[in-house]
Amino acid sequence: MTDEIENPVMLLRDPNNEPVKFVNDVAVVGHASGVINITFSTALFNPYSDGKIRTDMIVGARLRLDMAAAQSLRSRLNEMLEPNGKDKPN
Domain count across the chain:
1
Q: What pLDDT, on the 0 to 100 scale, is given for residue 84?
A: 67
Residue 77: inside a domain, yes or no? yes
Residue 90: inside a domain, yes or no? no
**Which residues, given as ranges, of the chain have pLDDT below 70?**
1-4, 84-90
Q: What pLDDT, on the 0 to 100 scale, is given for residue 46?
A: 94
Q: What pLDDT, on the 0 to 100 scale, is given for residue 74?
A: 95
Domain range enclosing 79: 20-84
Element housing 38 (H / E): strand 35-47
Residue 64: inside a domain, yes or no? yes
Q: What pLDDT, on the 0 to 100 scale, is given for residue 88?
A: 55
Residue 10: inside a domain, yes or no? no
Q: What sign does the dihedral 85-28-70-64 (CA atoms) show?
A: negative
